[in-house]
Amino acid sequence: MAIERWDPFREMVSLRDAFNTLLQESFVRPDSLSRGEAAALPMPLDISETAEAFVVRASLPGIKPEDVQISVHGDTLTIQGETKSQEERQGETWHLRERRHGVFRRTVTLSVPVDADRASAEHENGVLTLTLPKAESARPKQIKVASASSK
């Protein structure tokens, strides 16, 4: 186990993300679920980091892989897509509609730029797993120390 310097800011939410969450939660009417409307819920993510890459896992139950778009620009990752709702059929009445449908989007800023050309994505059992290798310039490099007497 490696000893790592504690960084109190590592797990803090960026001000932009906190403000976006505040605005999203402020404009959802509490009674919307009782009328069967889909509430705007954030897409849950798990992000881990190794020396070489970031691994992002997103919960996307019931969403087809072809309905998801992923983009990386420098150190910013965006996952977005759309789910369709079931159409009402003749003689069918909905009593409750809690499953979400519509457009979803999640943008996160990573701590270093990633190499989008070497990134990979897998979708299995409703979980999207992204492997985002860090850009070569962001990886730690070893520097040999030469002795002053060897010059």
What residues contact residue 136 under an 8 Å CB cut-off, 6+ apart? Answer: 115
Enumerate the domain spans of the chain: 11-40, 43-83+100-136
Between 138 and 62, the higher pLDDT residue: 62
What strand order describes the sheet that includes 68-73? 68-73, 76-83, 102-109
Phi, psi of 102 (to 5 degrees): 115, -165
In this structure, are residues 112 and 138 in contact, taking their beta carbons and an 8 Å threshold? yes
37-95 per-position pLDDT tens digit: 444 446 889 999 998 999 999 998 888 899 899 999 988 999 998 887 777 778 888 78
Q: What is the percent of the chain where pLDDT is above 70? A: 81
Q: Rounded to two decimals, what is the model's pTM?
A: 0.61
Q: How many CB atoms lie within 10 A of CB 132?
A: 24
Question: Is 85 exposed, middle or buried, given 0-12, 13-18 or 19+ CB atoms closer than 10 A?
Answer: exposed
CATH of 43-83+100-136, one of 1.20.120.530, 3.20.20.150, 1.20.140.10, 2.60.40.790: 2.60.40.790
57-73 per-position pLDDT tens digit: 999 888 889 989 999 99
CA dihedral sign of residues 109, 112, 118, 120: negative
